[in-house]
Amino acid sequence: KKYRVWETKKVTTTCPHCATGCQMNLIVKKGKIVAVEGAPGPANEGQLCVKGRFGSHDFVHSPDRLKHPLIKKNGKFEQATWDEALDLIASKMTELKKKYGPNSLAGFSCSRAPNEDNYVMQKMVRTVFETNNVDNCARVCHSATVAGLAITLGSGAMTNTIKDITEEPEVMLIVGSNTTEAHPVIGSRIRRAKQNGCKLIVVDPRETTLAEEADIHLKIRPGTNVAFANGIMNIIISEGLEDKEYIAARTEGYDEIKKIVAEYTPEKVAAICRIDADALREAAIMYAKAEKAPIIYCLGVTEHSTGTEGVMSMSNIAMLVGKIGKAGCGVNPLRGQNNVQGACDMGCLPTDFPGYQKANKPEVISKFEKAWGVSLSSSKGLTSTEVFVAANEGKIKGLYIFGEDPIVTDPDTGHVNNALNNIEFLVVQELFMTETAAYADVILPGASYAQKEGTFSNTERRVQRVRKAVELEGEQRLDTDIFCDLMTRMGYPAHYDSASDIMDEVARLTPSFGGISFERLDRGESLQWPCTYSDHPGTPIMHCEVFSRGLGYFYPAVYKPAAELPDEEYPILLNTGRMLYHYNTRAMTGRSPGINIISNSSYIEINYKDAQKLGIGNHDRVKVYSRRGELETEALVGRKVNEGESFMTFHFPDGNANKLTNAALDEFARIPEYKVCAIKIEKA
Ligand code: SF4
């Protein structure tokens, strides 16, 4: 240990990486975090994964942290005062708004930042930019969940709790989730359930750890989830295993979906998904017959040009067998970033005010106009993916990016690069000089999770405290103070005494958060929304008596192939995802020396048969090309992916898969197709 226990204090907070929401103690000595340990929490029971344990503190005190506002002059950043930076932003944004109209401005909020920051950010965009062009990075991970489950169930969130879906079930149906790497603590709970006798059905194009331990692994072709789901439903109906009573009493749209899935015979689906028809039959019957069986899914379902239909297909399966609104069941998306659920809950969406109150409903607009004392726009906002398209067309002139790095995270890097170059005035509020920040006109130094008070909402809708452990350094400011200062300079005086005051405002205006307060959380209460009044206990399992939309809706989904498929010129399918040691852009985990010793460079997984044909050996350097870009990386040759398929992450600057990926968008949620594009590979 680097410290003596009596010289330290412990601050209990929430992990800043994935949306499992593990509780942790930051060990602080002389104003610095010197270690992190697990703390008991409902999701983690004291466990932490490698990212939480070793990747949560080095970055807070990194010498790379931004400490002063910067203004770009003649192509170079120069240190500026807060007055200079904020006056410049206020005058440029006001000028652009006058010249091109409010919808020429947009803001991206930060799914890593607390709820309170996100609430004030969207309030800033709506009150002083006067537009609904506000979004967050859920757009590129789970916007299909938010849209899809809202359509079918009435609420775009996980239906059950982490404890419930990992302790109750007899069978788990896990689709497109590499849980042991992307949500490691949930992954370890699933493995514990397996050891205790729970059966696992894993639907994944790769041989992940859970796939290796599964009772049935359906190694489907990426991009065929809807066909898979319709095949499962075909078998359930053919076997007479559907829950007729539940369907009649609680759902609508069944006749149409029944007609559609009749065409998806096991043999037809096996051919589309490239799996065994008998294994599909066995999986459908195993899932349907189990009393308690949750569907757990992740980005393998959402990140497609048909992602929303993939999500709705998951709820179709669960409703068919009456498995929503019950313990040990449900439809359970594992959200990505620590507070991506919260950024959506707080209204950082172009279509929704906080609590998913619709931005196109006159009564919602007038409620917020009255509360905030301004006129609000009723025009439809753009998603972040649409903002880049609009910027390339010259329609977005001013952009404010809070804690996102789209040059690294968004598909087709070249397209994002052009869009940022086209924007007249770009503000980036960040912890570090990121690749995106380099394009900015003004950079503002914000606060990390360990320097502020607030709350994160984890994947199971649980609102948990974030607590200040160390002081701000240099001229860093609280992000909410920066937003309020800018709002004031743009003619809308704004100020909050504390993060708790912000949550009180959220609770007043957001029915599903009506009973949530710092006072209750600090008393030790553990609250999952909907939590509608001051002594409401929260809602662990949703849709028990009635769906949030009334009746559950069977969406009539038909299979459509991915937007770009392999062909003669680009014969290999590229699938992308995350790995255990790093989190997304590596802005945090990449500053942990220990983690970098284990994992510090890019790779591409390819099948041994393709490698043989191409003369590529394990660990050879290879060049990879798509229609949008190229890169060089290391080949990992084996059986992890099927012949004709490959896999990369976007964590590493030496080989970011997003130089290759396709920005084709889903029609409902505008989520891009990260999981399928066509590439060619050659030995370097
Ligand atoms: Fe943090 Fe997620 Fe790991 Fe838990 S599982 S410690 S929340 S990264």
Residue 560 CA to ligand 1 center (angstroms) comes to 35
The number of angstroms, rounded, from the C-alpha of 470 to the middle of its chain's C-alpha atoms is: 27
Pocket test for ligand 1, best of 12, 15, 45, 56 (most atoms within 8 A of CB): 15
**Helix (H) or strand (E) segment spanning residue 273:** helix 266-273
Residue 67 CA to ligand 1 center (angstroms) comes to 27
Query: What percentage of the chain has pLDDT greater than the value 70?
Result: 100
| Residue 656 pLDDT | 83
What ipTM did this prediction achieve? Answer: 1.00
| Residue 414 pLDDT | 82
Return the bridge partners of 647, or none: 575, 605
User: How do strand 32-38 and strand 23-29 relate by DSSP bridges?
Assistant: antiparallel
At 501 the three-state DSSP class reads helix
Exposure class string for 413-439: b at 16+ Cβ within 10 A, else e: bebbbebbebbbbbbbbbbbbbbbbeb
| Nearest C-alpha neighbor of 98 from the set 397, 531, 455 | 397
What's the pLDDT tens digit per position in 177-226? 999 999 999 999 999 999 999 999 999 999 999 999 999 999 999 999 99
Q: How many CB atoms lie within 10 A of CB 594?
A: 12
CA 515 – CA 528 distance, rounded (Å): 10
pLDDT band at 108 (very low <50, low <70, confident <90, very high): very high
Residue 75 CA to ligand 1 center (angstroms) comes to 39
Compute the radius of gyration of the chain from its Cα atoms. 24
Residue 459 CA to ligand 1 center (angstroms) comes to 12
* Closest ligand 1 atom to Cα of 48: 6
| Residue 599 pLDDT | 78
* Average pLDDT rounded to a whole number, residues 511-527: 96
Q: Is pLDDT at 589 greater than 80 in this prediction?
A: no
| Nearest C-alpha neighbor of 208 from the set 172, 182, 229, 173 | 182
* Average pLDDT rounded to a whole number, residues 299-303: 92
* Closest ligand 1 atom to Cα of 44: 4
pLDDT band at 665 (very low <50, low <70, confident <90, very high): confident
| C-alpha separations of 113 from 116, 267, 587, 681 in Å | 8, 47, 14, 38
Q: Is pLDDT at 1 greater than 70 in this prediction?
A: no
| C-alpha separations of 583 from 43, 340, 347, 536, 591 in Å | 19, 14, 24, 35, 11
Does ligand 1 have an atom closer than 6 angstroms to the CB of 22? yes
CATH of region 5-61, choose from 3.30.360.10, 1.10.1740.10, 1.10.10.10, 2.20.25.90: 2.20.25.90
Residue 22 CA to ligand 1 center (angstroms) comes to 6
| Residue 592 pLDDT | 80
What's the pLDDT tens digit per position in 633-660? 999 999 999 999 999 988 777 878 888 9
* Closest ligand 1 atom to Cα of 53: 6
Tokens encoding 252: 């609508």
What's the pLDDT tens digit per position in 423-475? 999 999 999 999 899 999 999 999 999 999 999 999 999 999 999 999 999 99
- CATH for 143-334? 3.40.228.10
Q: Is pLDDT at 268 greater than 80 in this prediction?
A: yes
Tokens encoding 652: 């590493």
| Residue 583 pLDDT | 75
pLDDT band at 562 (very low <50, low <70, confident <90, very high): very high
CA 346 – CA 479 distance, rounded (Å): 15
Please determine, looking at this structure, whether the domain spanning 70-137+338-508 carries the CATH number 3.30.70.270: no
Q: Residue with the nearest Cα to atom 4 of ligand 1?
A: 22
Per the model's pLDDT, the better-predicted residue between 595 and 534 turns out to be 534
Residue 382 CA to ligand 1 center (angstroms) comes to 31
At 454 the three-state DSSP class reads strand
| Residue 205 pLDDT | 97
Q: How many CB atoms lie within 10 A of CB 485?
A: 18
Does ligand 1 have an atom closer than 6 angstroms to the CB of 15? yes
* Average pLDDT rounded to a whole number, residues 347-366: 95
Name the residue type at position 306: T
Residue 39 CA to ligand 1 center (angstroms) comes to 12
Residue 14 CA to ligand 1 center (angstroms) comes to 9
- Pick from 417-421, 465-469, 604-608: least confident: 417-421
- CATH for 572-683? 2.40.40.20
Does ligand 1 have an atom closer than 6 angstroms to the CB of 468? no
Pocket test for ligand 1, best of 12, 26, 51 (most atoms within 8 A of CB): 51
Q: Can you give 176-205 as a three-state secondary structure string?
A: CCCHHHHCHHHHHHHHHHHHCCCEEEEECC
- Please name the residues in contact with 44: beta carbons below 8 A apart, sequence gap of 6 or more: 20, 21, 22, 23, 38, 185
Q: Residue with the nearest Cα to atom 3 of ligand 1?
A: 49
What's the pLDDT tens digit per position in 127-148? 999 999 999 887 777 788 989 9
Does ligand 1 have an atom closer than 6 angstroms to the CB of 23? no
Pocket test for ligand 1, best of 13, 14, 22, 337 (most atoms within 8 A of CB): 22
Q: How many CB atoms lie within 10 A of CB 192?
A: 12
Does ligand 1 have an atom closer than 6 angstroms to the CB of 184? yes
Name the residue type at position 19: A
* Closest ligand 1 atom to Cα of 185: 5
Average pLDDT, the chain: 94
* Closest ligand 1 atom to Cα of 16: 1
Residue 338 CA to ligand 1 center (angstroms) comes to 8
Domain ranges of the chain: 5-61, 70-137+338-508, 143-334, 572-683
Supply the DSSP symbol for 218. Answer: E
Does ligand 1 have an atom closer than 6 angstroms to the CB of 113? no
Residue 451 CA to ligand 1 center (angstroms) comes to 19
Does ligand 1 have an atom closer than 6 angstroms to the CB of 33? no
Residue 184 CA to ligand 1 center (angstroms) comes to 6
Contact between residue 182 and residue 578 where contact means Cβ atoms under 8 Å apart: yes
| Residue 596 pLDDT | 80
Residue 181 CA to ligand 1 center (angstroms) comes to 10
Per the model's pLDDT, the better-predicted residue between 648 and 337 turns out to be 648
Does ligand 1 have an atom closer than 6 angstroms to the CB of 17? yes
What's the pLDDT tens digit per position in 371-418? 999 999 999 899 998 999 999 999 999 999 999 898 888 778 788 889
Does ligand 1 have an atom closer than 6 angstroms to the CB of 43? no
Q: Residue with the nearest Cα to atom 1 of ligand 1?
A: 52
Residue 466 CA to ligand 1 center (angstroms) comes to 14
* Closest ligand 1 atom to Cα of 18: 2
pLDDT band at 37 (very low <50, low <70, confident <90, very high): very high
CA 596 – CA 268 distance, rounded (Å): 45
* Average pLDDT rounded to a whole number, residues 662-667: 87
